[in-house]
Structure 1
Amino acid sequence: MKNVQELNQVSDFVKREYDSLAQNGASTLCCSPSDTYTPEELAGIPRIVLELSSSCGSPTKGLELYPDQTILDLGCGAGLDVMLLARKLGPESHIIGVDASNNMINVAKSAALEAGIPNAEFRLGDARDIPAQDHSVDVVISNCVVGMFPDKEKVFSEVYRILKPGGYMVAIDTIFSKKNSESFDELTSQDWAACIVMMSEEEYTMKLLSTGFEHVDFRDQLIVPYRDGNEITSAKIFAFKSK
Protein backbone atom coordinates (compact mmCIF):
# COMPACT_ATOMS: atom_id res chain seq x y z
CA MET A 1 0.00 0.00 0.00
CA LYS A 2 1.76 3.13 -1.21
CA ASN A 3 -0.71 5.99 -1.57
CA VAL A 4 -3.83 7.52 -0.07
CA GLN A 5 -6.13 5.95 -2.65
CA GLU A 6 -4.86 2.45 -1.89
CA LEU A 7 -5.14 3.06 1.86
CA ASN A 8 -8.74 4.20 1.46
CA GLN A 9 -9.53 1.17 -0.70
CA VAL A 10 -8.31 -1.15 2.05
CA SER A 11 -10.34 0.69 4.70
CA ASP A 12 -13.47 0.67 2.55
CA PHE A 13 -13.09 -3.08 1.97
CA VAL A 14 -12.67 -3.78 5.69
CA LYS A 15 -15.80 -1.76 6.49
CA ARG A 16 -17.83 -3.60 3.83
CA GLU A 17 -16.53 -6.94 5.09
CA TYR A 18 -17.70 -6.28 8.65
CA ASP A 19 -21.00 -4.85 7.46
CA SER A 20 -21.52 -8.11 5.59
CA LEU A 21 -20.58 -10.23 8.59
CA ALA A 22 -23.09 -8.36 10.76
CA GLN A 23 -25.77 -8.85 8.14
CA ASN A 24 -25.01 -12.57 7.90
CA GLY A 25 -24.90 -12.97 11.67
CA ALA A 26 -21.55 -14.75 12.07
CA SER A 27 -17.84 -14.04 11.82
CA THR A 28 -15.30 -16.27 10.12
CA LEU A 29 -12.41 -13.94 10.95
CA CYS A 30 -9.88 -13.79 13.74
CA CYS A 31 -10.34 -15.61 17.04
CA SER A 32 -13.47 -16.71 18.86
CA PRO A 33 -14.24 -14.97 22.19
CA SER A 34 -14.65 -18.41 23.77
CA ASP A 35 -10.85 -18.72 23.51
CA THR A 36 -10.45 -15.58 25.65
CA TYR A 37 -13.35 -15.29 28.07
CA THR A 38 -14.82 -17.74 30.54
CA PRO A 39 -18.35 -19.14 30.18
CA GLU A 40 -19.28 -17.18 33.31
CA GLU A 41 -18.13 -13.91 31.73
CA LEU A 42 -20.04 -14.61 28.53
CA ALA A 43 -23.22 -15.69 30.28
CA GLY A 44 -26.13 -13.41 29.45
CA ILE A 45 -24.49 -11.91 26.38
CA PRO A 46 -26.79 -12.35 23.36
CA ARG A 47 -25.69 -15.13 21.03
CA ILE A 48 -25.48 -12.81 18.00
CA VAL A 49 -22.77 -10.81 19.80
CA LEU A 50 -20.71 -13.92 20.47
CA GLU A 51 -21.10 -15.11 16.88
CA LEU A 52 -19.93 -11.76 15.49
CA SER A 53 -17.16 -11.00 17.96
CA SER A 54 -13.47 -11.56 17.35
CA SER A 55 -10.91 -11.47 20.11
CA CYS A 56 -7.19 -12.13 20.43
CA GLY A 57 -7.18 -11.39 24.15
CA SER A 58 -8.93 -9.31 26.79
CA PRO A 59 -7.83 -5.66 26.83
CA THR A 60 -9.38 -5.08 30.25
CA LYS A 61 -8.19 -8.16 32.14
CA GLY A 62 -6.10 -7.11 35.13
CA LEU A 63 -6.82 -3.39 34.73
CA GLU A 64 -7.96 -1.18 37.59
CA LEU A 65 -10.99 0.53 36.09
CA TYR A 66 -13.58 2.58 37.95
CA PRO A 67 -17.24 3.57 37.42
CA ASP A 68 -16.42 7.29 37.30
CA GLN A 69 -14.10 6.84 34.30
CA THR A 70 -15.11 7.35 30.69
CA ILE A 71 -13.90 4.34 28.72
CA LEU A 72 -14.04 4.03 24.93
CA ASP A 73 -13.74 0.81 22.93
CA LEU A 74 -12.30 1.58 19.50
CA GLY A 75 -13.61 -0.80 16.86
CA CYS A 76 -16.17 -2.30 19.20
CA GLY A 77 -17.85 -4.50 16.58
CA ALA A 78 -20.98 -6.09 18.02
CA GLY A 79 -20.16 -4.63 21.44
CA LEU A 80 -18.87 -7.57 23.46
CA ASP A 81 -16.13 -5.77 25.41
CA VAL A 82 -18.36 -2.72 25.95
CA MET A 83 -21.14 -4.84 27.42
CA LEU A 84 -18.82 -6.92 29.58
CA LEU A 85 -17.21 -3.78 30.99
CA ALA A 86 -20.47 -1.87 31.45
CA ARG A 87 -21.95 -4.82 33.32
CA LYS A 88 -18.86 -5.21 35.49
CA LEU A 89 -18.53 -1.52 36.45
CA GLY A 90 -22.23 -1.00 37.02
CA PRO A 91 -24.92 1.42 35.88
CA GLU A 92 -23.01 4.54 36.93
CA SER A 93 -20.20 3.83 34.47
CA HIS A 94 -19.96 5.36 30.99
CA ILE A 95 -18.69 2.91 28.40
CA ILE A 96 -18.65 3.98 24.74
CA GLY A 97 -18.23 1.72 21.73
CA VAL A 98 -17.18 3.14 18.35
CA ASP A 99 -17.27 1.22 15.08
CA ALA A 100 -17.25 2.14 11.39
CA SER A 101 -19.78 -0.55 10.47
CA ASN A 102 -23.36 0.68 10.69
CA ASN A 103 -24.64 -2.90 10.80
CA MET A 104 -22.35 -3.76 13.72
CA ILE A 105 -23.48 -0.67 15.64
CA ASN A 106 -27.13 -1.60 15.10
CA VAL A 107 -26.47 -5.13 16.36
CA ALA A 108 -24.62 -3.77 19.41
CA LYS A 109 -27.41 -1.34 20.32
CA SER A 110 -30.10 -4.03 20.05
CA ALA A 111 -28.03 -6.55 21.98
CA ALA A 112 -27.33 -4.11 24.82
CA LEU A 113 -31.06 -3.49 25.18
CA GLU A 114 -31.76 -7.21 25.11
CA ALA A 115 -29.11 -7.86 27.77
CA GLY A 116 -30.39 -5.01 29.96
CA ILE A 117 -27.19 -2.95 29.85
CA PRO A 118 -28.33 0.68 29.49
CA ASN A 119 -24.93 2.25 30.25
CA ALA A 120 -23.40 0.85 27.07
CA GLU A 121 -23.37 3.60 24.42
CA PHE A 122 -22.55 2.97 20.77
CA ARG A 123 -21.44 5.52 18.17
CA LEU A 124 -20.87 5.14 14.44
CA GLY A 125 -17.41 6.40 13.52
CA ASP A 126 -14.00 5.77 12.02
CA ALA A 127 -10.94 5.06 14.17
CA ARG A 128 -9.13 7.79 12.21
CA ASP A 129 -11.84 10.33 13.06
CA ILE A 130 -13.20 9.27 16.44
CA PRO A 131 -16.56 10.81 17.39
CA ALA A 132 -15.42 12.10 20.78
CA GLN A 133 -14.27 15.46 22.09
CA ASP A 134 -10.67 16.36 22.82
CA HIS A 135 -9.41 15.20 26.25
CA SER A 136 -12.73 13.51 27.09
CA VAL A 137 -11.76 9.86 27.68
CA ASP A 138 -9.83 8.27 30.54
CA VAL A 139 -9.06 4.92 28.90
CA VAL A 140 -9.22 3.73 25.29
CA ILE A 141 -9.38 -0.02 24.74
CA SER A 142 -9.14 -1.88 21.45
CA ASN A 143 -9.36 -5.57 20.71
CA CYS A 144 -7.54 -6.68 17.57
CA VAL A 145 -8.56 -3.62 15.53
CA VAL A 146 -5.56 -1.33 15.00
CA GLY A 147 -3.89 -4.02 12.90
CA MET A 148 -6.59 -3.60 10.25
CA PHE A 149 -5.53 -0.02 9.48
CA PRO A 150 -2.64 0.57 7.06
CA ASP A 151 -2.42 4.20 8.26
CA LYS A 152 -1.96 3.45 11.95
CA GLU A 153 -0.47 6.89 12.67
CA LYS A 154 -3.89 8.46 12.09
CA VAL A 155 -5.48 6.04 14.54
CA PHE A 156 -2.85 6.73 17.21
CA SER A 157 -3.17 10.50 16.71
CA GLU A 158 -6.93 10.33 17.23
CA VAL A 159 -6.55 8.19 20.35
CA TYR A 160 -4.03 10.69 21.71
CA ARG A 161 -6.39 13.58 20.95
CA ILE A 162 -9.37 12.20 22.87
CA LEU A 163 -7.43 10.96 25.90
CA LYS A 164 -7.34 13.11 29.01
CA PRO A 165 -3.90 14.04 30.38
CA GLY A 166 -2.70 10.98 32.28
CA GLY A 167 -5.01 8.71 30.31
CA TYR A 168 -3.90 5.63 28.44
CA MET A 169 -4.70 3.21 25.65
CA VAL A 170 -4.57 -0.54 26.01
CA ALA A 171 -4.87 -2.50 22.80
CA ILE A 172 -4.78 -6.17 22.03
CA ASP A 173 -3.13 -6.40 18.63
CA THR A 174 -1.19 -8.71 16.38
CA ILE A 175 2.56 -8.26 16.28
CA PHE A 176 5.21 -9.46 13.91
CA SER A 177 6.70 -12.91 14.07
CA LYS A 178 8.67 -14.87 11.47
CA LYS A 179 5.90 -17.43 11.23
CA ASN A 180 3.41 -14.92 9.83
CA SER A 181 5.62 -12.39 8.08
CA GLU A 182 4.51 -10.97 4.73
CA SER A 183 5.75 -8.32 2.32
CA PHE A 184 3.71 -5.17 3.01
CA ASP A 185 3.03 -4.60 -0.69
CA GLU A 186 1.87 -8.19 -1.25
CA LEU A 187 -0.90 -8.08 1.35
CA THR A 188 -4.48 -8.25 0.10
CA SER A 189 -7.51 -6.40 1.43
CA GLN A 190 -8.73 -9.71 2.87
CA ASP A 191 -5.49 -9.96 4.87
CA TRP A 192 -6.21 -6.57 6.42
CA ALA A 193 -9.81 -7.54 7.21
CA ALA A 194 -8.58 -10.69 8.95
CA CYS A 195 -6.23 -8.57 11.10
CA ILE A 196 -3.15 -10.61 10.21
CA VAL A 197 -1.11 -7.51 9.35
CA MET A 198 1.40 -6.74 12.02
CA MET A 199 4.43 -4.65 12.94
CA SER A 200 7.41 -5.48 15.07
CA GLU A 201 7.35 -4.34 18.69
CA GLU A 202 9.96 -1.72 17.81
CA GLU A 203 7.95 -0.31 14.89
CA TYR A 204 4.77 -0.21 16.94
CA THR A 205 6.53 1.58 19.79
CA MET A 206 8.12 4.17 17.50
CA LYS A 207 4.76 5.05 15.91
CA LEU A 208 3.13 5.54 19.30
CA LEU A 209 5.99 7.63 20.70
CA SER A 210 6.12 9.80 17.59
CA THR A 211 2.40 10.52 18.09
CA GLY A 212 3.18 12.00 21.51
CA PHE A 213 2.67 9.16 23.96
CA GLU A 214 5.09 9.32 26.86
CA HIS A 215 5.60 5.61 27.46
CA VAL A 216 4.77 2.34 25.67
CA ASP A 217 4.72 -1.09 27.28
CA PHE A 218 4.20 -4.52 25.67
CA ARG A 219 2.75 -7.28 27.85
CA ASP A 220 1.21 -10.75 27.62
CA GLN A 221 2.57 -11.90 24.26
CA LEU A 222 0.71 -15.05 23.24
CA ILE A 223 0.24 -17.40 20.32
CA VAL A 224 -3.50 -17.49 19.67
CA PRO A 225 -5.57 -19.61 17.24
CA TYR A 226 -7.68 -18.19 14.44
CA ARG A 227 -11.07 -19.64 13.59
CA ASP A 228 -9.56 -21.09 10.39
CA GLY A 229 -6.85 -22.95 12.30
CA ASN A 230 -3.98 -20.52 11.66
CA GLU A 231 -2.07 -18.96 14.54
CA ILE A 232 -0.86 -15.42 15.17
CA THR A 233 1.18 -13.66 17.83
CA SER A 234 -0.77 -11.14 19.91
CA ALA A 235 0.25 -8.72 22.63
CA LYS A 236 -1.39 -6.33 25.09
CA ILE A 237 0.03 -2.90 24.28
CA PHE A 238 -0.14 0.02 26.72
CA ALA A 239 0.45 3.63 25.59
CA PHE A 240 0.42 6.32 28.27
CA LYS A 241 -0.28 10.02 27.79
CA SER A 242 1.61 12.41 30.08
CA LYS A 243 -0.28 14.18 32.87
Structure 2
Amino acid sequence: MMSDTIREIVKKKYAEAITGKKGCCGAGSSCCDTSLSKATQKITGNLYSETNIEGLSTDMIATSFGCGNPTALAELYPGETVLDLGSGAGLDVLLSAKRVGPFGKAYGLDMTDEMLQEARENQKKSGITNAEFLRGHIEDIPLPDNSVDVIISNCVINLSADKDKVLKECFRVLKPGGRFAVSDIVLKKPLPPQLQQDLTAWAGCIAGALSDTEYQNKLAAAGFESVELQVTRAYDFTDSESELFSKLSKEELTKLEGAVVSSFIRARKPKTAR
Protein backbone atom coordinates (compact mmCIF):
# COMPACT_ATOMS: atom_id res chain seq x y z
CA MET A 1 0.00 0.00 0.00
CA MET A 2 1.21 3.51 -0.78
CA SER A 3 1.69 5.61 2.37
CA ASP A 4 -0.13 8.59 0.79
CA THR A 5 -3.14 6.38 0.05
CA ILE A 6 -3.26 5.12 3.62
CA ARG A 7 -2.94 8.66 4.96
CA GLU A 8 -5.81 9.94 2.81
CA ILE A 9 -8.07 7.02 3.75
CA VAL A 10 -7.36 7.54 7.44
CA LYS A 11 -7.91 11.29 7.14
CA LYS A 12 -11.24 10.79 5.34
CA LYS A 13 -12.50 8.17 7.79
CA TYR A 14 -11.73 10.29 10.85
CA ALA A 15 -13.19 13.42 9.29
CA GLU A 16 -16.39 11.45 8.67
CA ALA A 17 -16.27 10.00 12.17
CA ILE A 18 -15.97 13.33 13.98
CA THR A 19 -18.74 14.81 11.84
CA GLY A 20 -20.95 11.80 12.58
CA LYS A 21 -20.26 11.79 16.30
CA LYS A 22 -21.56 15.33 16.75
CA GLY A 23 -25.07 15.18 18.11
CA CYS A 24 -24.75 11.59 19.35
CA CYS A 25 -26.89 10.27 22.17
CA GLY A 26 -24.43 11.16 24.91
CA ALA A 27 -21.14 10.26 26.51
CA GLY A 28 -19.82 6.90 25.49
CA SER A 29 -22.71 6.14 23.15
CA SER A 30 -22.35 4.31 19.87
CA CYS A 31 -25.54 5.59 18.25
CA CYS A 32 -23.70 7.09 15.29
CA ASP A 33 -23.33 4.34 12.75
CA THR A 34 -20.26 5.30 10.71
CA SER A 35 -18.13 2.66 9.01
CA LEU A 36 -15.29 3.59 11.32
CA SER A 37 -17.30 3.18 14.51
CA LYS A 38 -18.51 -0.23 13.33
CA ALA A 39 -14.94 -1.40 12.82
CA THR A 40 -13.63 0.02 16.09
CA GLN A 41 -16.54 -0.13 18.53
CA LYS A 42 -14.94 -2.90 20.57
CA ILE A 43 -11.65 -0.99 20.72
CA THR A 44 -12.83 2.53 21.51
CA GLY A 45 -15.63 1.95 24.00
CA ASN A 46 -15.66 2.58 27.77
CA LEU A 47 -12.17 4.06 28.13
CA TYR A 48 -13.07 7.19 30.11
CA SER A 49 -15.47 7.74 32.94
CA GLU A 50 -17.09 11.01 33.95
CA THR A 51 -14.65 11.06 36.88
CA ASN A 52 -11.70 10.96 34.46
CA ILE A 53 -12.85 14.11 32.70
CA GLU A 54 -14.09 16.09 35.68
CA GLY A 55 -14.38 19.73 34.67
CA LEU A 56 -14.71 18.93 30.96
CA SER A 57 -17.77 18.13 28.89
CA THR A 58 -18.76 14.46 29.12
CA ASP A 59 -19.74 14.70 25.43
CA MET A 60 -16.01 14.70 24.63
CA ILE A 61 -15.89 10.99 25.39
CA ALA A 62 -18.10 10.36 22.35
CA THR A 63 -15.51 12.04 20.11
CA SER A 64 -12.56 10.02 21.38
CA PHE A 65 -11.54 7.21 19.02
CA GLY A 66 -8.62 5.87 21.07
CA CYS A 67 -7.74 2.41 22.35
CA GLY A 68 -6.63 3.43 25.83
CA ASN A 69 -6.45 6.28 28.32
CA PRO A 70 -2.79 7.39 28.26
CA THR A 71 -3.42 10.34 30.56
CA ALA A 72 -4.45 7.91 33.31
CA LEU A 73 -1.25 5.88 32.94
CA ALA A 74 1.40 8.44 32.00
CA GLU A 75 3.29 10.31 34.72
CA LEU A 76 2.85 14.04 34.14
CA TYR A 77 4.23 16.73 36.42
CA PRO A 78 3.52 20.46 36.87
CA GLY A 79 5.50 22.63 34.48
CA GLU A 80 6.14 19.93 31.88
CA THR A 81 5.56 20.17 28.12
CA VAL A 82 3.41 17.38 26.68
CA LEU A 83 2.77 16.47 23.04
CA ASP A 84 -0.20 14.34 21.98
CA LEU A 85 0.26 12.71 18.56
CA GLY A 86 -3.02 12.50 16.64
CA SER A 87 -4.88 14.59 19.19
CA GLY A 88 -8.31 14.33 17.55
CA ALA A 89 -11.02 16.26 19.39
CA GLY A 90 -8.53 17.21 22.09
CA LEU A 91 -9.61 15.20 25.13
CA ASP A 92 -6.15 13.90 26.08
CA VAL A 93 -4.56 17.29 25.39
CA LEU A 94 -6.95 19.11 27.69
CA LEU A 95 -6.59 16.47 30.41
CA SER A 96 -2.80 16.79 30.13
CA ALA A 97 -2.95 20.58 30.23
CA LYS A 98 -4.83 20.40 33.51
CA ARG A 99 -2.22 18.06 34.98
CA VAL A 100 0.86 20.07 33.98
CA GLY A 101 -0.72 23.24 35.29
CA PRO A 102 -0.45 26.90 34.23
CA PHE A 103 3.34 26.80 33.93
CA GLY A 104 3.23 23.71 31.71
CA LYS A 105 2.06 23.31 28.11
CA ALA A 106 0.16 20.65 26.19
CA TYR A 107 0.36 20.45 22.39
CA GLY A 108 -1.97 18.45 20.18
CA LEU A 109 -0.92 17.47 16.65
CA ASP A 110 -3.46 16.34 14.06
CA MET A 111 -3.74 16.31 10.26
CA THR A 112 -7.53 16.48 10.03
CA ASP A 113 -9.09 19.94 9.82
CA GLU A 114 -12.43 18.74 11.20
CA MET A 115 -10.69 17.28 14.27
CA LEU A 116 -8.68 20.47 14.84
CA GLN A 117 -11.83 22.59 14.63
CA GLU A 118 -13.57 20.37 17.17
CA ALA A 119 -10.53 20.42 19.46
CA ARG A 120 -10.29 24.20 19.43
CA GLU A 121 -14.00 24.50 20.15
CA ASN A 122 -13.61 22.09 23.06
CA GLN A 123 -10.65 24.09 24.38
CA LYS A 124 -12.65 27.32 24.20
CA LYS A 125 -15.53 25.73 26.12
CA SER A 126 -13.14 24.37 28.77
CA GLY A 127 -11.41 27.70 29.44
CA ILE A 128 -8.03 25.93 29.40
CA THR A 129 -5.35 28.31 28.07
CA ASN A 130 -2.12 26.27 28.30
CA ALA A 131 -2.96 24.06 25.31
CA GLU A 132 -2.27 24.53 21.61
CA PHE A 133 -3.39 22.49 18.61
CA LEU A 134 -1.07 22.15 15.62
CA ARG A 135 -1.83 20.98 12.09
CA GLY A 136 0.64 18.48 10.68
CA HIS A 137 1.74 14.88 10.34
CA ILE A 138 3.20 12.68 13.05
CA GLU A 139 5.98 11.69 10.62
CA ASP A 140 7.11 15.34 10.54
CA ILE A 141 6.42 16.94 13.94
CA PRO A 142 6.37 20.76 13.71
CA LEU A 143 8.30 21.35 16.95
CA PRO A 144 12.00 21.99 17.63
CA ASP A 145 14.56 19.40 18.76
CA ASN A 146 14.65 18.63 22.49
CA SER A 147 11.50 20.64 23.26
CA VAL A 148 9.07 18.13 24.84
CA ASP A 149 9.13 16.31 28.19
CA VAL A 150 6.49 13.68 27.41
CA ILE A 151 4.91 12.30 24.25
CA ILE A 152 1.51 10.66 24.55
CA SER A 153 -0.73 9.20 21.86
CA ASN A 154 -3.96 7.25 21.81
CA CYS A 155 -4.19 4.56 19.12
CA VAL A 156 -2.62 6.70 16.39
CA ILE A 157 0.91 5.49 15.66
CA ASN A 158 -0.52 2.23 14.27
CA LEU A 159 -2.29 4.35 11.63
CA SER A 160 1.00 5.53 10.12
CA ALA A 161 2.55 3.72 7.17
CA ASP A 162 6.05 4.86 8.27
CA LYS A 163 6.32 4.06 11.95
CA ASP A 164 10.13 4.22 11.92
CA LYS A 165 9.95 7.87 10.89
CA VAL A 166 7.33 8.59 13.56
CA LEU A 167 9.50 7.10 16.30
CA LYS A 168 12.61 8.93 15.06
CA GLU A 169 10.64 12.18 15.16
CA CYS A 170 9.50 11.37 18.70
CA PHE A 171 13.10 10.84 19.72
CA ARG A 172 14.15 14.12 18.08
CA VAL A 173 11.61 16.38 19.80
CA LEU A 174 11.93 14.79 23.25
CA LYS A 175 14.33 16.38 25.68
CA PRO A 176 17.18 14.19 26.99
CA GLY A 177 15.52 11.94 29.58
CA GLY A 178 12.10 12.63 28.03
CA ARG A 179 9.38 9.99 28.15
CA PHE A 180 7.39 8.19 25.47
CA ALA A 181 4.07 7.01 26.97
CA VAL A 182 1.45 5.94 24.43
CA SER A 183 -1.57 3.69 24.14
CA ASP A 184 -1.63 1.67 20.93
CA ILE A 185 -2.94 -1.48 19.31
CA VAL A 186 -0.40 -4.33 19.33
CA LEU A 187 -0.57 -7.75 17.69
CA LYS A 188 0.22 -10.93 19.55
CA LYS A 189 -0.01 -13.05 16.38
CA PRO A 190 -0.35 -12.34 12.65
CA LEU A 191 -3.61 -11.18 11.10
CA PRO A 192 -5.32 -12.99 8.19
CA PRO A 193 -3.84 -11.69 4.89
CA GLN A 194 -7.09 -10.07 3.74
CA LEU A 195 -7.27 -8.01 6.94
CA GLN A 196 -3.66 -6.90 6.49
CA GLN A 197 -4.55 -5.43 3.09
CA ASP A 198 -7.91 -3.92 4.05
CA LEU A 199 -7.86 -0.10 4.20
CA THR A 200 -10.89 -0.02 6.49
CA ALA A 201 -9.01 -2.31 8.87
CA TRP A 202 -6.08 0.09 8.67
CA ALA A 203 -8.25 3.10 9.48
CA GLY A 204 -9.87 0.98 12.20
CA CYS A 205 -6.55 0.63 14.05
CA ILE A 206 -6.01 -3.04 13.21
CA ALA A 207 -4.22 -3.72 9.91
CA GLY A 208 -1.39 -1.29 10.60
CA ALA A 209 -0.60 -2.56 14.10
CA LEU A 210 2.85 -3.88 14.96
CA SER A 211 3.62 -7.03 16.90
CA ASP A 212 4.90 -6.45 20.42
CA THR A 213 8.40 -7.52 19.36
CA GLU A 214 8.36 -5.23 16.31
CA TYR A 215 7.32 -2.29 18.49
CA GLN A 216 10.13 -2.92 20.96
CA ASN A 217 12.70 -3.31 18.19
CA LYS A 218 11.64 -0.15 16.38
CA LEU A 219 11.78 1.91 19.58
CA ALA A 220 15.25 0.58 20.31
CA ALA A 221 16.37 1.31 16.72
CA ALA A 222 15.16 4.91 17.12
CA GLY A 223 17.40 5.26 20.19
CA PHE A 224 14.97 4.69 23.05
CA GLU A 225 15.79 2.75 26.20
CA SER A 226 13.77 1.20 29.05
CA VAL A 227 11.08 -0.03 26.65
CA GLU A 228 8.04 -1.63 28.31
CA LEU A 229 4.73 -2.90 26.91
CA GLN A 230 1.79 -3.45 29.24
CA VAL A 231 -1.39 -5.06 27.88
CA THR A 232 -4.43 -3.06 28.99
CA ARG A 233 -7.22 -4.72 27.01
CA ALA A 234 -7.64 -7.82 24.81
CA TYR A 235 -10.28 -8.09 22.08
CA ASP A 236 -12.60 -10.84 20.94
CA PHE A 237 -13.92 -10.24 17.42
CA THR A 238 -15.68 -13.58 17.00
CA ASP A 239 -19.11 -12.03 17.64
CA SER A 240 -18.44 -8.72 15.87
CA GLU A 241 -21.23 -7.36 13.66
CA SER A 242 -18.81 -5.21 11.65
CA GLU A 243 -18.72 -5.83 7.91
CA LEU A 244 -14.96 -5.88 8.26
CA PHE A 245 -15.02 -9.13 10.22
CA SER A 246 -18.00 -10.66 8.47
CA LYS A 247 -15.69 -11.24 5.49
CA LEU A 248 -13.66 -13.72 7.52
CA SER A 249 -14.38 -17.42 7.87
CA LYS A 250 -15.18 -18.93 11.27
CA GLU A 251 -11.71 -20.48 11.26
CA GLU A 252 -10.08 -17.11 10.61
CA LEU A 253 -12.15 -15.46 13.33
CA THR A 254 -11.12 -18.18 15.77
CA LYS A 255 -7.47 -17.55 14.91
CA LEU A 256 -7.99 -13.86 15.73
CA GLU A 257 -8.68 -14.74 19.37
CA GLY A 258 -5.99 -13.08 21.47
CA ALA A 259 -4.30 -11.58 18.41
CA VAL A 260 -5.28 -7.94 18.98
CA VAL A 261 -4.62 -6.12 22.25
CA SER A 262 -4.37 -2.57 23.51
CA SER A 263 -1.06 -1.85 25.19
CA PHE A 264 0.46 0.99 27.15
CA ILE A 265 3.96 1.49 25.77
CA ARG A 266 6.67 3.24 27.76
CA ALA A 267 10.18 4.22 26.70
CA ARG A 268 12.72 6.91 27.52
CA LYS A 269 15.19 9.01 25.59
CA PRO A 270 18.63 8.58 27.24
CA LYS A 271 19.68 11.55 29.37
CA THR A 272 22.92 11.73 27.42
CA ALA A 273 21.21 11.85 24.01
CA ARG A 274 21.02 15.03 21.92
Please tell me whether the aligned partners of residues 143 and 173 of structure 1 are also in contact (alpha carbons under 8 angstroms): yes
Please tell me whether the aligned partners of residues 167 and 222 of structure 2 are also in contact (alpha carbons under 8 angstroms): yes
Counterpart of 1:160 in structure 2 is 171
Q: 1:228 to 1:91 in 2, by over 3 A?
A: farther
The one-letter amino acid of 2:40's match is C
Report Cα offsets for 1:10-58 as digits up to 9, x if no partner. 1111112212222333572535766122222234433553222112222
Q: 1:37 to 1:185 in 2, by over 3 A?
A: closer
Counterpart of 2:17 in structure 1 is 21
Task: Determine the C-alpha separation between the residues in 2 that align with 1:228 and 1:188.
Answer: 17
The one-letter amino acid of 1:108's match is A
Q: 1:61 to 1:159 in 2, by over 3 A?
A: same
Q: 1:61 to 1:33 in 2, by over 3 A?
A: same
Structure 1 length as normaliser, TM-score? 0.88
Structure 2 length as normaliser, TM-score? 0.78
Residue 131 of structure 1, CA deviation: 1.2
Q: 1:184 to 1:211 in 2, by over 3 A?
A: farther
Counterpart of 1:235 in structure 2 is 263
Structure 1 unmatched ranges of 5 or more: none
Task: Determine the C-alpha separation between the residues in 1 that align with 2:264 and 2:167.
Answer: 15
3-state DSSP of counterpart to 1:129: coil
Task: Determine the C-alpha separation between the residues in 1 that align with 2:241 and 2:149.
Answer: 36
Residue 169 of structure 1, CA deviation: 0.8
Identity of aligned residues (%): 36
Counterpart of 2:136 in structure 1 is 125
Structure 2 unmatched ranges of 5 or more: 23-35, 246-256
Matches within 5 A, 1:158-197: 158-178=169-189, 181-183=191-193, 186-197=196-207
Task: Determine the C-alpha separation between the residues in 1 that align with 2:66 and 2:224.
Answer: 25
The one-letter amino acid of 2:265's match is I
Q: 1:184 to 1:91 in 2, by over 3 A?
A: farther
